[in-house]
Chains A and B, each alone.
Chain A
């Protein structure tokens, strides 16, 4: 059983060398190349997926910050608008007050002026009447009754106030 057969050793070596040669050509080379290509493909795909994930995360963060910025902006605009409206309201109210006051003052002034002119006119009138009465008295001598009548007449002509 342990006897060495040189012919069989040679056959083994010959067979192995030919097998090695043929298999390297027909099987190992294409198989290993395909394997390597696939492994490279998987590595690339994983790398790409990683990149895509990073990119999407970055974009998400960007969008989030943009959204929060927009929210802030909205709040700011709203606040500003409210403030502006408040300010305008106050201004309008103040202006209205002012103009009302001015109108009132104007009216008072007018009344005062009318009153004064009326008083001046009344004085002139009274003076004229007094002069007219004096003239009448001087022109004709009058009896007591007539005088009375005249005085009444004059008094009647006077305005009530």
Chain B
């Protein structure tokens, strides 16, 4: 999330000075938003973190758009901000990649954007899928490519003004991890067959140890997916919180004296810029890590038959 904070010196009375408005990259918007006073009072960080968290409102350059609340079968299926960004990411992917596919089919050697996409595809195939899963992993390539591009785009959308990274929400990463969990189990089941798949849970130990071994192994399958979920969420949220903290320093010091606030703002903004570039890198890195680990876990499940045969 590209967060640009501005210390609003115009409204320097005691209520407005406390509240820091999380604004976008234009002063115009900053001024427009600073007018409703008192509405967002309270802790500095809870105010700032609201913009990292999910909400029922969508921030746009033209004001806030209320999103519908939907309840289906007792589940809150509201279209929240992060759902909207899920869909934006999905729509951009569908349109962009369909365009690339059509363009690449016309020319023998892809150029420009088509070439870039192909670099990523070849990277996922040759550096992630084939080393981890062998040549048999190529049939899972569409799933892993979708995972990679979807996560990458969701991460990057957080760096766009007014954007939000849906992957900074633990529910979204949990959803992705649930899919990864089923894909890991499916890959293992398909490669080994039901018998070997179930036998794997015993860990190859004496049957008296099975009551201990089987729950551990079953738990083990969940921890992998759980780790995927938390890793992505924490990394994406972490960067945002670092930015919030760095920029928050301006307001903390600004509360003491506006002069110190301005003085602190210079290194703060420089550091924030640095963190933003780091975030750009992390966006790609985390998409890679999620895809690589999913592929690794799938590959482990697919190969464990070989391991067991060696052990016998």
Which chain A residues have a beta carbon within 8 Å of chain B's beta carbons?
A: 1-13, 15-20, 22-24, 26-32, 34-35, 38, 41
Query: Given A23-B94, A23-B146, are A5 and B76 neighbors across the interface (CB < 8 Å)?
Result: yes
Interface string of B25-48 (1 = CB under 8 A from A): 000000000000000000000000
List chain B residues, Cβ under 8 A from A22: 94
**In the complex, A10→B100 CA distance in Å?**
29
- Asked whether B49 lies within 8 Å of A11 as measured between CB atoms, the reply is no
Complex partner residue of A35 from B122, B175, B179, CB under 8 angstroms = B122
**In the complex, A18→B82 CA distance in Å?**
17
- CB-based closest 8 A-B pairs: A12-B175, A27-B97, A8-B171, A9-B175, A7-B77, A28-B142, A5-B171, A7-B76
CB distance from B90 to the nearest CB of A (A): 5
Complex partner residue of A31 from B82, B101, B108, B169, CB under 8 angstroms = B101
| Overall SS of chain B's interface | helix
Taking each of B53, B87, B122, B142, which has the highest tally of chain A beta carbons within 10 Å of its own beta carbon? B142
- Asked whether A20 lies within 8 Å of B97 as measured between CB atoms, the reply is no
Assess whether B174 is interfacial by the CB under 8 Å rule: yes
A-B contact pairs, 6 of them (CB 8 A): A2-B170, A6-B171, A23-B93, A28-B145, A32-B121, A35-B118
Assess whether B117 is interfacial by the CB under 8 Å rule: yes
Assess whether B105 is interfacial by the CB under 8 Å rule: yes
Interface string of B122-161 (1 = CB under 8 A from A): 1000000000000000000111011001100000000000
List chain B residues, Cβ under 8 A from A3: 170
**In the complex, A23→B100 CA distance in Å?**
12
**In the complex, A38→B169 CA distance in Å?**
40
- Asked whether B108 lies within 8 Å of A10 as measured between CB atoms, the reply is no
With contacts A5-B76, A8-B175, A30-B102 known, what are 17 further pairs, Cβ within 8 A?
Answer: A4-B170, A7-B76, A8-B54, A11-B86, A12-B174, A13-B175, A15-B86, A16-B150, A16-B175, A16-B179, A20-B142, A26-B94, A26-B97, A28-B141, A30-B101, A31-B118, A32-B141
Assess whether B83 is interfacial by the CB under 8 Å rule: yes
CB distance from A155 to the nearest CB of B (A): 134
- Asked whether A11 lies within 8 Å of B175 as measured between CB atoms, the reply is yes
Assess whether B12 is interfacial by the CB under 8 Å rule: no
- Asked whether B80 lies within 8 Å of A8 as measured between CB atoms, the reply is yes
Assess whether B104 is interfacial by the CB under 8 Å rule: yes
CB distance from A95 to the nearest CB of B (A): 82
**In the complex, A3→B174 CA distance in Å?**
11
List chain B residues, Cβ under 8 A from A34: 101, 104-105
Interface string of B52-93 (1 = CB under 8 A from A): 111000000000000000000001111110110011001001
- Asked whether A24 lies within 8 Å of B82 as measured between CB atoms, the reply is no
User: Which residue in chain B gives the minimum CB-CB distance to A6?
Assistant: B75
**In the complex, A94→B157 CA distance in Å?**
112
- Asked whether A31 lies within 8 Å of B179 as measured between CB atoms, the reply is no
Assess whether B209 is interfacial by the CB under 8 Å rule: no
List chain A residues, Cβ under 8 A from B179: 13, 16-17
Complex partner residue of B172 from A12, A18, A19, CB under 8 angstroms = A12
**In the complex, A34→B104 CA distance in Å?**
7
**In the complex, A27→B90 CA distance in Å?**
13
List chain B residues, Cβ under 8 A from A41: 108
CB distance from A96 to the nearest CB of B (A): 84
**In the complex, A41→B108 CA distance in Å?**
10
CB distance from B195 to the nearest CB of A (A): 29
**In the complex, A22→B121 CA distance in Å?**
17
- Asked whether A31 lies within 8 Å of B121 as measured between CB atoms, the reply is yes
List chain B residues, Cβ under 8 A from A35: 118, 121-122
Complex partner residue of A26 from B79, B90, B101, B145, CB under 8 angstroms = B101
- Asked whether B143 lies within 8 Å of A13 as measured between CB atoms, the reply is no
**In the complex, A19→B102 CA distance in Å?**
18
- Asked whether A13 lies within 8 Å of B178 as measured between CB atoms, the reply is yes
Complex partner residue of B178 from A2, A9, A32, CB under 8 angstroms = A9
List chain B residues, Cβ under 8 A from A28: 97, 141-142, 145-146
User: Which residue in chain A gives the minimum CB-CB distance to B106?
Assistant: A34
Complex partner residue of B171 from A4, A16, A20, CB under 8 angstroms = A4
Query: Given A9-B171, A10-B75, A10-B77, are A19 and B178 neighbors across the interface (CB < 8 Å)?
Result: no
Assess whether B282 is interfacial by the CB under 8 Å rule: no
Query: Given A19-B150, A31-B104, A34-B105, are A8 and B93 neighbors across the interface (CB < 8 Å)?
Result: no
